[in-house]
Structure 1
Amino acid sequence: MKDVMYFDQAASSWPKPPAVMDAMMQCMQEYAANPGRGSHQMAVKASRTLFEARKNLAKLFGVKNPNDISFALNTTHALNQAIKGFVKPGDHVICTHVEHNSVRRPLEYLKASAGVELTYLTHDEQGSMQLNELKEAFRSNTTLVVVTHSSNLLGTIMPIGEIGELCRSHGAKLLVDAAQSAGVLPIHVADMNIDMLAFPGHKGLLGPQGTGGLYTHPDIDLEPLLHGGTGSQSEAIRQPTVRPDRYEAGTQNTPGIAGLNEGVKFILGETVDKIHAKEWAHTQQLMEGLLGIEGVTILGPKLGQNKTGIVSFNIQDVDSSEVAFILDQSFQIAVRSGYHCTPLAHEVAGSLAKGAVRSSIGYFTTDEEITALIEAVKEIQAQYAK
């Protein structure tokens, strides 16, 4: 089997830095005990690994207290903890038309079950929003604004700092979905007025699947999503009040977090600015090549505009799933097709009828792979144009 050219980085990053796998294996071999559940040397080492990961994440995101970061299974888990733990019956929440279902579905659940009011902000075809519309959407009972940092379909980057300022001036909290930006775009929770930040470990942070987390401002007390053992305050019948235990019921994924820690260390060493600059250059190279093919349209920001490394496209009237299948089977190129769990974003882009082929670039994507994808799309387009 030929080596796969991987353009599905927006779903999970691959390959990982070798240190990620090495740390996971070392954990399994040497100290795979329960963190925070014992005083023996293996348990202590496991606890230290988790805290080191918190410290490195805090450094990456500008968080003062590492214990304000709780680990989660993924961004979906973190978003559910933030949304369901914060929003109360009768609250008004503002979100956008380009949100992932990890935001939309919990909010719609609360709308149906608890009478929560929702407002969806509109976007233009490139996914850009108008801050004036957000300003006019605030109500007396608006408690939360939920915004993706970057659309997982369009790659559009949202003005989080300005949104945070508006939230603060109107007394609302800001929850940011960093699924496509953590490790790829600069994030500083204080400077950007972010109250809660949900992030994955397995995408831009270069860690394994089954890892992620949630930063929660120290002034916010969330109702825990899960209740159970924490290794602290065991005599109490309720969840502990101390962080991060309050939001981390059950045994944590120590091998996975050990790997995540190495991914974050890699990013801190390379720097987010360098990573984004490299991915942006490759994104422009891919967009320029695809735009040169007759019948190919690209969703989202135009060539030259800032965005993350997501390039979603369609070939004339060819079904997106068919294009992805051909790329995989005939060219050994892995992409994602369909609706990408964000149907409202497809409405914005005008692609709801057939979805889109999403190619996404990572730090380890090469010039040769970009060229190969462009040439493969040329061949597919030529075949269907006959």
Structure 2
Amino acid sequence: MIYFDQAASSRPKPPEVGEAMVHALNSIGANPGRGSHLLAREAAQMIADTRERAARLFGSSDPRKALFFPNATAALNQAIKGINWSEGDHVIATVFEHNSIRRPLAYLQRKYGIKVTYVSGNDDTVSLENQLRESIRPETRLLALTHASNVTGTVLPVEHAATVASDHGIPVLLDASQTAGHLQINMREMGITMLAFPGHKGLLGPQGTGMLLMEGSMDLEPVQHGGTGSFSEEPENPQQWPEKFESGTLNTPGIAGLNAALNVYESDEHNNVPRETMLGRSLMKGLQAIDGITCYSPDKDHCQLPIAAFNVLDIPSQEIAMVLDAHYDIAVRAGLHCSPLTHDFLNTTQQGVIRASLSKYNTEEEINRFLEAIQEITASYQML
């Protein structure tokens, strides 16, 4: 199979990832933080090593504030719902947000009566900055934004947005679900207060892993409560980090795999991006040359992930994806991609969008075979 659904979940994984998970499952097996015996200590040390590696890679000053979650969605929920909200508080987000940000904000609107402004930026740094400045109010408590659209791959000018927020003392939550592992991210240098990312996408780690990293003195209230392995006599969660936010048993095999993936990324940090970028540009150029194809990704001069978003004529995107799967053994993603505001912006709510997304393991030969398939499919529909 040609796997062009890397933005949903990466495939294949580096062999080190599976090896680390099997070792944690079969050779360690113990519960970190729930005992003082050798195996529990080994599990706890692996957890601590992963925190330190993630903090180092993403520019967080304190590894204790590198928190583990089952996925980026859970991390974003903790970041958003953990703020002490009051009626009338205000949040700024973008129309490119995944439902992992939009739905928690909708929940806060319903529960607390907060206000939310969604800005577009029109793929332009100056426009985004102007819209942000115009949207800021005295009661604005948070800027929540995706680093890159999961639909089109468009990378937002995060540093510029963070500077605007910093000028007004507003914390910044960055959803790096699509960019972690593809782009270098440094929280301190970029002005990011909270960073959420999954392990299983660009970082090439396992599913069931995600992290929330904090920078600075901002505090949160935990959204989950329970056993933490320490201060068991207290009725409330411990107030120390990270235990305050990590009730229940951690996904030790998953975190072991994430640690291995982070280690691979760290050792190959400067070598994977150019190849992905080259393949993505080749894919987009080929699609743009096919009559009947509408492309939604930005032009070549705009910062872009290895994602191509497009449609074939006026055919439903899901139908094209089914044809690719059944007749060409090619996996892509189609539909609304859990990002309805993006489709409102693109005017693709009815048709959806076909998304082909790449990793460093894809090849030029696969790009050529994919383009041949799209050419054949388009031509067949044009004959009907």
TM over 0.5: same fold?
A: yes
Confirm or deny: 8 A CA contact 1:34 1:251 kept in the other structure.
yes
**Secondary structure, aligned partner of 1:136:** helix
2:150 paired residue number = 152
Alignment of 1:185-334 (within 5 A): 185-271=183-269, 273-334=270-331
Confirm or deny: 8 A CA contact 1:312 1:357 kept in the other structure.
yes
1:353 paired residue number = 350
Confirm or deny: 8 A CA contact 1:142 1:172 kept in the other structure.
yes
1:362 paired residue number = 359
Q: Distance in 1 between matches of 2:101 and 2:306?
A: 21
**Once the 2 structures are TM-superposed, how far is the Cα of residue 102 of structure 1 from its aligned partner?**
0.5
**Once the 2 structures are TM-superposed, how far is the Cα of residue 128 of structure 1 from its aligned partner?**
9.1
Q: Distance in 1 between matches of 2:157 and 2:148?
A: 10
Change (3 A) 1:76 1:144: same
Q: Does 1:343 align with 2:340?
A: yes
Identify which of 24, 27, 33 aligns with 2:30: 33
Compute the RMSD of aligned alpha carbons: 1.4
**Once the 2 structures are TM-superposed, how far is the Cα of residue 303 of structure 1 from its aligned partner?**
3.1
Confirm or deny: 8 A CA contact 1:126 1:302 kept in the other structure.
no
Q: Unmatched 5+ residue regions in structure 1?
A: none
2:103 paired residue number = 105
Aligned residues: 382
Deviation string, structure 1 residues 194-223 (Cα, Å, up to 9, x no partner): 000011011111111000110122411111
Q: Distance in 1 between matches of 2:73 and 2:234?
A: 29
Alignment of 1:44-63 (within 5 A): 44-63=41-60
Q: Distance in 2 between matches of 1:44 and 1:122?
A: 48
**Once the 2 structures are TM-superposed, how far is the Cα of residue 178 of structure 1 from its aligned partner?**
0.4
Q: Distance in 2 between matches of 1:249 and 1:217?
A: 21
Q: Distance in 1 between matches of 2:241 and 2:159?
A: 26
2:83 paired residue number = 86
Give the residue type in structure 1 aligned to 2:64: N
Confirm or deny: 8 A CA contact 1:37 1:231 kept in the other structure.
yes
Q: Distance in 1 between matches of 2:314 and 2:216?
A: 51
Give the residue type in structure 1 aligned to 2:219: D
**Secondary structure, aligned partner of 2:143:** strand
Q: Distance in 2 between matches of 1:178 and 1:210?
A: 16
**Secondary structure, aligned partner of 1:78:** helix
Identify which of 9, 18, 41 aligns with 1:12: 9
Deviation string, structure 1 residues 330-367 (Cα, Å, up to 9, x no partner): 11110000000001101111211210111101111111
Alignment of 1:170-189 (within 5 A): 170-189=168-187
Q: Distance in 1 between matches of 2:108 and 2:198?
A: 23
Give the residue type in structure 1 aligned to 2:282: Q
Q: Distance in 1 between matches of 2:124 and 2:370?
A: 23
Q: Percent identity?
A: 45
My pick for the range that moved more, 159-168 or 241-250, is 159-168
Confirm or deny: 8 A CA contact 1:7 1:333 kept in the other structure.
yes
Confirm or deny: 8 A CA contact 1:62 1:188 kept in the other structure.
yes
Q: Does 1:74 align with 2:71?
A: yes
1:382 paired residue number = 379
Confirm or deny: 8 A CA contact 2:224 2:247 kept in the other structure.
yes
Q: Unmatched 5+ residue regions in structure 2?
A: none
Change (3 A) 1:214 1:14: same
**Secondary structure, aligned partner of 2:82:** helix
Q: Distance in 2 between matches of 1:98 and 1:126?
A: 13
Confirm or deny: 8 A CA contact 1:125 1:349 kept in the other structure.
no
**Secondary structure, aligned partner of 1:314:** strand
Deviation string, structure 1 residues 226-274 (Cα, Å, up to 9, x no partner): 0000111111111111111111100000000000011111111111x43
Confirm or deny: 8 A CA contact 1:121 1:129 kept in the other structure.
no
**Secondary structure, aligned partner of 1:86:** coil
TM-score, normalised to structure 1, is: 0.97
Q: Distance in 1 between matches of 2:16 and 2:283?
A: 29
Q: Distance in 1 between matches of 2:127 and 2:152?
A: 13
Give the residue type in structure 1 aligned to 2:254: G
Q: Distance in 1 between matches of 2:44 and 2:375?
A: 52
Give the residue type in structure 2 aligned to 1:313: F
Confirm or deny: 8 A CA contact 1:100 1:342 kept in the other structure.
yes
Deviation string, structure 1 residues 274-332 (Cα, Å, up to 9, x no partner): 32221111110000111111000111212343201111110001110010001111111
